[in-house]
Amino acid sequence: MTTPMFDTRQVRRAFSRSAQGYDAVAGLQRLAETRLLESLDYLDDPALARKPPQRVLDLGCGTGHASALLQQRWPKAEILSFDLALPMLRQARQATKPAGRWLSNPFARTPLQVCADARQLPLADASIDVIFSNLCLQWVEDLGAVLNGFRRVLKPQGLLLFSTFGPETLWELRDAFAQADRAPHVSPFVDTAGIGDALINAGFFQPVVDRDEEVTRYPDLSALMHELRALGATNALASRRHTLTGRGRFADAADAYEVHRTDAGLPATWEIISAMAWAPEHGAPIREGGVDLVSIPADSIPIRRRR
């Protein structure tokens, strides 16, 4: 039995602790969210003659910011807000009340919050029109398996839209700690080619993958680490050091990071990858391991009896 890459319990704990203060430090997350929401304008193009979605899943909804905006976009739709951390959902519930800070239409439906794992969606087959997921899938090690789950719950020609971090994310931090500690401190991330391949292997069609790079700056390494903890983006690798890093190792990493300092401070690079793809029609084979798997109902197989 192979050891999992991520400690899911640590991911849940980290985001649970960060729930109350998350919005105050989530500027980068809001930027990625805005770009994803702009992509949804494509669905509202009258030339496509597409009906508004009836059920939309916001996966990894956090404090519910995107869920509220999705509800504003499609007031009659049922918005499902899924997150692994229950305290995040409590924040989302408070934020998406009609008198809350984002919903201004008192007649709009309220998103439904559900504590759930992206790897095991508690949804019926072909029950979702749109899956929206902003900066959540970097915490999933088997992207192919999760995409197969997405395909299962999406209706034919349903839309998948998500963002995640690419391998250039926090490369400065990764290099600095590599000089101070043998234990890993930054997660590995899938690149654009890997995401595109995973979408195709899962049977999605017309995939579009985009890449953006953002740089945030900090006065010192402590400030960067404080922000990561406030976001819940702590080290959740199963192979991480389970004791404190220690002042000596942290000081060595801080010294190594200094080679990147500019007049504006210490840079932290974030590679944001966004992807859009469509679910296939009914009957298209599911792909696993690069092979098409065909499911045929037993009652549809003709049987010939010898006389």
- Average pLDDT, integer, range 28-43: 92
Query: What is the pLDDT at residue 184?
Result: 65
Task: Quote the pLDDT of residue 9.
Answer: 87
Q: Specify whether the CB–CB gap between 162 and 86 falls below 8 A.
A: no
Each domain of the chain, given as residue ranges in start order, spans 8-167+187-214+269-284
Question: Mean of the pLDDT values across residues 124-130?
Answer: 97
The pLDDT of residue 47 is above 50: yes
Ranked by mean pLDDT, the top range of 17-21, 39-43, 130-134, 234-238 is 130-134
Cα distance from N-terminal residue to C-terminal residue, the chain? 51
Q: Across residues 189-218, what is the average pLDDT?
A: 95
Residue 194's region, left for phi above 0, alpha for psi from -120 to 50, else beta, is alpha
CATH homologous superfamily of 8-167+187-214+269-284: Vaccinia Virus protein VP39 (3.40.50.150)
Confidence (pLDDT) at 240: 61
Give the pLDDT mean for 90-106: 64
Please compute the mean of the pLDDT values over residues 245-253 and round it to a whole number: 83
The pLDDT of residue 237? 62
pLDDT at 29 over 80: yes
**Residue bearing the bigger pLDDT, 238 or 198:** 198
**Backbone phi and psi for residue 217, each to the nearest 5 degrees, phi listed first:** -130, 150
